[in-house]
Amino acid sequence: MRSPFYPPERLQSIIDGLKRIATPEEIAEVALFLASEESRYITGTSILADGGMMAGL
């Protein structure tokens, strides 16, 4: 059996992110930003609203 890439406590901290689920308002703010003129220079990328879950992976 292979050992995990991350130690279990590190993996749990990555999975936890902000330790809560986003509110509908927080997700709506991301959508509104992407629909606004403020995001005109953002192209060809994915914006993750995951509370930091993917940080460090």
pTM for the full model? 0.60
> pLDDT tens-digit profile of 9-42?
776 666 666 777 788 999 999 999 999 999 999 9
> CA 1 → CA 4, 54, distances in Å?
9, 25
In terms of residues, how long is the chain?
57
Domains of the chain: which residue ranges?
A: 1-57
Of 5, 26, 22, nearest in space to 14 by CA: 5
**Could you tell me which of 55, 50, 53, 54 has the C-alpha nearest to residue 26?**
50
CA–CA separation, 11 and 26 (whole Å): 25
Determine whether domain 1-57 maps to CATH 1.10.8.
yes
